[in-house]
A and B are shown apart, each in its own frame.
Chain A
Amino acid sequence: MHRYVLGRLLSAIPTLFLIVTISFFLIRIAPGGPFDLERPLEAKVMENLNKIYHLDEPLWNQYLLYLKSIVQLDFGPSFYFRDFSINELFAQSLPISIQLGLTALCLALVVGGTLGVIAALRQNQATDYTVMAAATLGVTIPNFVVAPILTLILGVWLGWLPVGGWNGGAFVNVILPVVTLALPQIAVVARLTRGSMIEALRSNHVRTARAYGLTGYMVIVVHALRGAILPVVSYLGPAAAALLTGSVVIETIFGIPGIGRYFVQGALNRDYTLVMGTVVVVACFVILFNLIVDLLYALLDPRVRYD
């Protein structure tokens, strides 16, 4: 098992190398640079800036320099937030995004899973139709619509929750963004769970469990749900990577200092190191969560074992 995990982590290195290389050159293809403002800077100032940030050197050299610093886990200085290094920016914002995403993920799993199981047990009855209709709404209504509506009702009219701000992650500040972030995920998880649960409830081994008079909990949770949760797990891997690396929309609407807004700002301002930094972080999360999904799979299903 340890060998397997180690092997998977080592095999991530060439993947990361490829991602870094491709995105490094891709962002350079985009016209413009970090210091091209609406009113051009003086030539001398520009020259100095380029020199400081090594932008005057050949692209190849810059690439090698970047590789060298990234091996030392140094993502370099930000071109746009002049007083900060990328490491400092991420140290502040990434924990916030992770906390937000993780809470939303757990909420989605618990609520979506429960709804899916209930719908499957009441297949083609009123409850089932209600849950599935709600799930369709959850997927189709975008979060930039849900967020203002929730804020308006719960924040402005009722005044129960603050309309925005992070406030160090205080409980009341977290509720609205987490719910908004989780809603579409709840919908997807509910649909997936319902589908695989219906199949599981019809399977022969669940029939055996019924025929042997096992309790409802044993039939539904122990024998049906454990197998039915597998497709949900494989969906949640990539979904978790996306949730934990921040959401631009949610963070902007609720004014949360997470990592999500750096995606947009970095790209728009040609902040090369910021773009590279976010790409590497997202790639790491995707690789990590794919590994976690595979390990969870092996834990849930003995037919999949890595030795």
Chain B
Amino acid sequence: MTNENNKTVLSIRDLKVEFTTATGTVNAVRGVDIHVEAGETVAIVGESGSGKSQTMMAAMGLLASNGRTQGEVVYEDRNILGLPISKLNDIRGKKITMIFQEPMTSLDPLYTIGRQLAEPMVVHGGLSWRKAKAKALDLLKLVNIPEPERKIKAYPYEMSGGQRQRVMIAMALANDPDVLIADEPTTALDVTTQAQILDLLRDLQKRLGMAVIFITHDLGIVRRISDRVYVMKTGEVVESGETARIFTQPEHPYTKMLLDAEPTGHKLPVPESAPVLLEAQKVEVEFELDSGFLQPKHVLRAVDSISFSLRKGQTLGIVGESGSGKSTLGRAVLNLLPAGGRVVFHGQQISGLDRTAMRAIRKDMQLIFQDPFGSLSPRMTVGQIISEGLLVHEPSLSAKDRDLRACQALEEVSLDPVMRNRYPHEFSGGQRQRIAIARTMVLKPELVVLDEPTSALDRTIQKQVVELLRNLQTANDLTYLFISHDLAVVRALSDTVMVMQHGKVVEAGTADAIFEAPKQDYTRELIGAAMLTQQQMMETA
């Protein structure tokens, strides 16, 4: 283990966390030693379920009620683990503060930003509400919130995710803390916002000199901001050390696997002779926004006159940040929502067709969703989920044939067909996404629209799913419309790439052209925010 010294501000010694559940005791953290020195940034890396968040939750006394702890969390020569709440409250929110993964829900929706920022200052600093609000305004300026005078009176729902995370950072800094714990603070944010928040955190740390513990699953972020790294797996620290050392000479096989998990490779081009499968001409989608009685209608152009054509076997990658209209475009192409313009599939115009006419074509054009937890019915077995589409599109099949096809589909996605009688909740996120893919493949479609299929998955799982998608494409001559905000994945899978912003195409071209020689500022910004870390990694590697 790394050595503590007199600069150590917080040290966690042999911390164990276990949860009593109906099915037995879960050992979430099994004896972890972590310490952080003044002015230092320490990253804790691991995939979901590695116990990295629970370690810090335990230190802050925030475990769920069925959690038990053992060990020591030492701050200023005092063990704060298991302190009564009133004593713990002298430290948390004042000397040790925390920002969370979910900027959308971490602030109370019912109170103004100013009031929530002021609360910890009133409780810990003994400030009056008026003085605390005045200081809150300074803090909002410190974290670069635009129009701070107006925003201090705003409610959380009136702000974007990035702004809410800035507010959380402001709250964390309010009482001049010694340690700031950041639990995946940028995971829920767009890449450009993510880059801004990371810069802000680094800048503030330099100016204010507190220690930062940064919990993340993203190695790019680790490389970018941390001095030292702890790699966690199944509740244990498997490796720790200086950031540069971990990246250049990883010792533990798990660390090596994490470092190797960036999606790589290139898609082989499709021969020029391949027929055009899908053509979109000036596709437009407009949403009417809520407007008052007798007030002019507000119309949002979610997709603004977008054209492209896709040959059989090709992959078109659509990238953009949230709200850019990329998912809406995917749905418009499938005729799942009313859209203007023309979509031609297999030489047949499908825009304007009604539900019944579309049903015959649906078999050949399928959709895979982002959320592997919400998109499978919890009350059906995996076998039923996969073969359901056959009931509609191939009604002549007997139950036995359907079952056989479901088995084949499961094998195609490398899952054991024996599992087809289980329910979705018995599977992990990666397995569920495989099930969703099997549900699509069982119909033998020609075009598959993939809407952020890897975004909810850990990097190592993501890599496997990317491989799977690539193999399926080659084996079945599939055409993909791949929607993602993850540029690395898009690059690994696409022939051509379209960058979207505010419903418009900013730039389009071959994957290599877009990533190696971007012409537009926005594309450069997007790639810069996402790729900087990768380049650094390659330089050090």
Interface residues of A (CB under 8 A from B): 123, 202-216, 218, 222-223, 226-227, 300-303, 307
Contacts and interface: CB of A to CB of B under 8 A. Distances in A.
A205 B120 contact: no
Q: Which of B60, B92, B98, B106 has the most CB of A within 10 A?
A: B106
B60 A211 contact: yes
A243 to B, nearest CB: 28
A123 B102 contact: no
Interface stretch (B83-91, B243-251, B356-364): B83-91
A300 B446 CA distance: 52
B92 to A, nearest CB: 4
Nearest to B108: A205
B532 interface: no
A226 B61 CA distance: 24
14 contacts: A203-B105, A208-B107, A209-B108, A210-B62, A211-B98, A212-B93, A213-B94, A214-B89, A223-B108, A223-B111, A227-B108, A302-B110, A303-B109, A303-B155
Given A213-B94, A300-B110, A204 B105 contact: yes
Contacts of A123: 65
A203 B104 CA distance: 12
A218 B110 contact: no
A157 to B, nearest CB: 44
Interface string B102-137: 100111111110000001100110000000000000
Given A207-B100, A211-B92, A212-B97, A301 B124 contact: no
A213 B92 contact: yes
B171 interface: yes
Contact of B89 (A204, A215, A222, A303): A215
Nearest to A223: B108
Contacts of A300: 110
Interface centre among B94, B100, B112, B168 (most CB of A within 10 A): B100
B157 interface: yes
Contacts of A214: 89, 93, 119-120, 123
A227 B106 contact: no
A204 B123 contact: no
B171 A205 contact: no
Contact of A213 (B102, B109, B111, B124): B124
Nearest to A305: B155
Interface of B: 60-62, 64-65, 85, 88-94, 97-98, 100, 102, 105-112, 119-120, 123-124, 155, 157, 168, 171, 292
A301 B106 contact: no
Contact of B90 (A207, A209, A212, A213): A213
Contacts of B61: 210
Given A208-B106, A303-B155, A213 B91 contact: yes
B410 to A, nearest CB: 36
Given A218-B119, A301-B109, A303-B155, A212 B171 contact: yes
B123 A215 contact: yes
Contact of B62 (A203, A211, A226, A307): A211
At the interface, is chain B mostly helix, strand, loop or mixed?
loop
A207 B119 contact: no
Contacts of A218: 119, 123
B85 A211 contact: no
Nearest to B89: A213
Contacts, number: 80
A56 B91 CA distance: 84
A207 B92 CA distance: 12
Given A204-B100, A218-B119, A212 B110 contact: no
A307 B295 CA distance: 13
A contact patch SS: helix
Contacts of A208: 100, 106-108, 168, 171
Contact of A204 (B65, B91, B92, B102): B102
Nearest to A206: B108
Given A208-B171, A209-B108, A212-B93, 17 more contacts: A204-B100, A205-B108, A205-B109, A210-B92, A211-B100, A212-B97, A212-B119, A213-B89, A213-B93, A213-B120, A213-B124, A214-B119, A215-B123, A216-B85, A218-B123, A223-B108, A226-B110
Contact of B110 (A202, A204, A213, A301): A301
A201 to B, nearest CB: 9
A205 B105 contact: yes
B82 to A, nearest CB: 15
A210 B60 CA distance: 9
Contacts of A215: 89, 123
Nearest to A215: B123
B17 to A, nearest CB: 16
A303 B107 CA distance: 14
Nearest to B168: A208
Q: Which of A123, A202, A213, A226 has most chain B Cβ within 10 Å?
A: A213
Contacts of B155: 302-303
A205 B171 CA distance: 13
A218 B123 CA distance: 10
B92 A212 contact: yes
A212 B169 CA distance: 12
Nearest to B103: A204
A302 B115 CA distance: 14
Contacts of A211: 60, 62, 92-93, 97-98, 100
B53 to A, nearest CB: 12
Contacts of B112: 302
Contacts of B97: 211-212
A198 to B, nearest CB: 11
Contacts of B98: 211
A205 B107 contact: yes
B106 A205 contact: yes
A264 B100 CA distance: 59
A162 to B, nearest CB: 45
A206 B106 CA distance: 8
Contacts of B85: 216
Nearest to A210: B62
A87 to B, nearest CB: 37
A217 B402 CA distance: 59
B108 A213 contact: no
Contacts of B93: 211-214
A73 B234 CA distance: 74
A213 B123 contact: yes
Contacts of A226: 110
Contacts of B119: 209, 212, 214, 218
A203 B156 CA distance: 15
A216 B110 CA distance: 18
A175 to B, nearest CB: 36
Contacts of A227: 108-110
A5 B22 CA distance: 51
Given A204-B102, A210-B62, A227-B109, A303 B120 contact: no
Contacts of B111: 222-223
Contacts of B106: 204-205, 207-208
A303 B112 CA distance: 11
Contacts of B171: 208, 212
A207 B65 CA distance: 12
A238 to B, nearest CB: 24
A1 to B, nearest CB: 13
B208 to A, nearest CB: 18
B105 to A, nearest CB: 4
B23 to A, nearest CB: 16
Nearest to A205: B108
- Minimum-distance CB pairs A-B, first 10: A212-B93, A213-B93, A213-B89, A204-B105, A205-B108, A212-B120, A213-B92, A211-B98, A302-B155, A204-B106
